[in-house]
Amino acid sequence: MGRGQVSLFVIIGVVLLIIVGLAIFLISSSKKDDAEVNIPKKGYNAITYFIDTCMDSSLKKSTIELFEHGFFLYLDESSPAVYKISEFETRTGLAGKLVPYYLTQDYVIFPLEIELSSTYSNIFKNHFSNCVKGIDAFGEQGFTFEKGEISVKSTFNDKDVLVEVNWPLVIIDGDIKYSEQKFSKLFEYPIKEKYLLVKNYVDYQAAEEEYFQMGYLAYLSHVHNFLYEAFYLGENYSLIKMEFPDFEYEYGDKLILPFVVKA
């Protein structure tokens, strides 16, 4: 073998070493870059899915609670806007319960439309905060969390409500960190439309306060496709229970709004 051939093999060997070294460097750089951009492991997908299910369940629970409270944030027995059903009124299904009291003989007490968003946001925040406490169970998979304060904004449209959650959350898996903050969901149910429907009836009843307006209630039920029950409680107090079957059809739970008027 001549010197020229030996030199050629040496050059080829050096080139191969350079190529292998470059490949190792690129692979190692790629792994480092992956860590720097915080690409999480598979367990991260389960965590984000868990948060998403909390969004869904909190939307449904918040809507049911909003209607049970008659669009008020809460029902306080000492409030003039609250009526306590007698323990003996078992036929109503609400014996001993507090319900909204919209219409007295002197004035109408009905939640303002401008308050609807903040009321819903507060109810949602309570349900969502309770639900995401379960995120700590992922600690068994080696995850730890840094959690910030939760804030909620709700925007009502005619046919739906957009809920935006701001929750600073750092998911830690060893040396890898992944940050989340914004979560949002569009809940496709016409809450605002139902609110205006109930307000329509209460305003009509207030204008015709001498008599209980069962005929108009029946008319609205037919036009807007809801069910209702009416119970005379004595002393001119009447309990009305509106039930919206479209919610049960879509989400599997009953949506009922009870309230009392005096006429």
- Indicate the residue type of 162: L
Angle of helix 116-131 relative to helix 43-68, nearest 10 degrees, comes to 140
Residues contacting 26, CB < 8 A, separation 6+: none
Kindly report the CA angle at 246 between 241 and 260, in degrees rounded to 5? 15
pLDDT at 108: 87
Contact 176, 38 (CB under 8 A): yes
Q: Where are the domains of the chain?
A: 1-37, 38-63+113-188, 72-109+190-263
How far is C-alpha 163 from the chain's CA centre?
7
How many C-beta neighbours within 10 Å does residue 173 have? 18
- Indicate the residue type of 29: S
Contact 64, 244 (CB under 8 A): no
Contact 90, 82 (CB under 8 A): no
3-state helix, strand, coil in the chain (%, to 5): 50, 25, 25
**pTM for this structure?**
0.81
The pLDDT tens digits along the chain (263 residues) read 554 554 655 555 555 555 555 655 555 544 434 333 344 445 788 999 999 999 999 999 999 999 999 999 999 988 889 999 999 999 999 999 999 999 876 788 899 999 999 999 999 999 999 999 999 999 998 999 999 999 999 999 999 999 999 999 999 998 888 899 999 999 999 999 999 999 999 998 888 766 678 889 999 999 999 999 999 998 888 999 999 999 999 999 999 999 998 86
Note the helical H segments in 82-233: 116-131, 191-207, 214-224
**Can you give the length of the chain in residues?**
263
Q: 């792994």: which residue's tokens?
A: 31
Which of 214, 237, 259, 263 is CA-nearest to residue 106? 263
**SS3 assignment, position 219:** helix
Q: 């899915």: which residue's tokens?
A: 49
Contact 250, 192 (CB under 8 A): no
**SS3 assignment, position 240:** strand
What DSSP element (H or E) covers 25?
Answer: helix 3-36
For the domain made up of 38-63+113-188, the CATH class stated in words is alpha beta
Tokens of 61: 């629970």
The rounded distance, in Å, linking the Cα atoms of 140 and 124 is: 28
**SS3 assignment, position 166:** strand
